């Protein structure tokens, strides 16, 4: 289905895979994804890997709507020790770093991280794309307008899906021109999109195949799910799993999730049906 390579390792898969979310933060929107103590991070990582996660996505700051930004030094201070321990204890894991700071990406890749997941596709730190290119690492580019603090004020589109595709196409071309060879695209559910727009984007997800890159689906427990259902993030697992199944049918290659076991089961059933 796709191959991602850095200078040391290759991830080759023939079916969709799961990326488990490890937020080393005090303020992520889903309380159940916050892991500030090192032993809790390691315990959760082990559980995710045992449940079938292929990639672990480590984040040092929340990017939920309205969240407060922290600088690169503070972000790295949160994830430095956990990353080193994860690389040491789980050498088979492919570790992604969820950051828009080039300095954090540099440190993390030097410490054994496999790839970088950037919500801003290089917009929030102009050094990021060249940093990833020099490291020869895979790079996730996501669609967003503004910053997490301002993005929900920028939800006006003439043609949502085509504008998101065009943005990702331009970003992909720029990344390739600057030396990044392995790219993953993320439509950015919940980032500068209304509830209705998120559902529209999911309904038209198959159109992203034109980008000819692995498609990451990041919808786990997000507000367009739990607000539609009239529940809390803690009660949105069933809704998330249902929409993951739809995403798989429409071409998602990577499910970025809080709940690995359920997502892996969805993929197993999808593959059996297919």
Q: Which residues contact 116 (CB under 8 A, 6 or more apart)?
A: 96, 97, 99, 105, 108, 109, 128, 132, 137, 138, 139, 140
| CA contacts within 13 A on the Cβ side of 251 | 19
Fold of 2-273: TIM Barrel (3.20.20)
Q: Which of 59-63, 184-188, 219-223, 232-236 has the lowest mean pLDDT?
A: 59-63
- The average pLDDT across 132-147 equals 95
pLDDT value for 33: 47
pLDDT in tens, 76-89: 999 999 999 999 99
In the predicted structure, residue 178 carries a pLDDT above the cut 80: yes
pLDDT value for 149: 75
- The average pLDDT across 186-194 equals 97
> Which residue reads 């930004």 in tokens?
69
Percent of the chain with pLDDT over 70: 95
pLDDT value for 25: 81
- The average pLDDT across 50-62 equals 95
In the predicted structure, residue 161 carries a pLDDT above the cut 60: yes
Q: Which residues contact 43 (CB under 8 A, 6 or more apart)?
A: none
- The average pLDDT across 49-61 equals 96
In the predicted structure, residue 146 carries a pLDDT above the cut 70: yes
pLDDT value for 66: 64
pLDDT in tens, 204-242: 999 999 999 999 999 999 999 999 999 999 999 999 999
Residues marked active site are found at 222, 256
Domain spans, the chain: 2-273
In the predicted structure, residue 29 carries a pLDDT above the cut 50: no
pLDDT value for 44: 94
| CA contacts within 13 A on the Cβ side of 96 | 29
pLDDT value for 195: 97
Q: Which of 12-21, 27-36, 123-132, 202-211 has the lowest mean pLDDT?
A: 27-36
């Amino acid at each position: 289905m796709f191959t991602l390579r850095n200078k040391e390792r290759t991830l080759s898969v023939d079916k969709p895979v799961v990326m488990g979310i490890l937020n080393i933060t005090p303020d992520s929107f889903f309380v159940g994804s916050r892991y500030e103590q090192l032993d809790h991070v390691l315990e959760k990582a082990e559980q995710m890997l045992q449940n079938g996660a292929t990639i672990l996505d480590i984040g040092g700051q929340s990017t939920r709507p309205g969240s407060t930004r922290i600088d690169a030094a503070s972000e790295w201070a949160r994830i430095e020790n956990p990353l080193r321990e994860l690389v040491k204890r789980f050498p088979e894991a492919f570790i992604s770093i969820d950051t828009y700071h080039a300095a954090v990406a540099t440190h993390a890749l030097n410490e054994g991280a496999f790839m970088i997941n950037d919500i801003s596709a290089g917009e929030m730190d102009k050094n990021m794309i060249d940093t990833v290119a020099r490291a020869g690492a895979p790079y996730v580019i996501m669609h967003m307008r503004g910053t997490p603090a301002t993005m929900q004020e920028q939800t006006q589109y003439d043609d949502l899906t085509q504008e998101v595709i065009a943005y990702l196409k331009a970003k992909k071309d720029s990344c390739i021109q600057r030396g990044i060879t392995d790219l993953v695209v993320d439509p950015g559910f919940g980032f500068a999109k209304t509830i209705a727009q998120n559902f529209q984007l999911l309904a038209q997800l198959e159109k992203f195949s034109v980008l000819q890159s692995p498609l990451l689906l990041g919808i786990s427990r997000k507000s367009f799910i739990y607000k539609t259902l009239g529940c809390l993030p803690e009660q949105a697992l069933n809704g998330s799993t249902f929409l993951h199944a739809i995403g798989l049918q429409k071409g998602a290659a990577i499910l970025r999730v809080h709940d690995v076991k359920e997502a892996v089961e969805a993929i197993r059933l999808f593959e059996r049906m297919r």
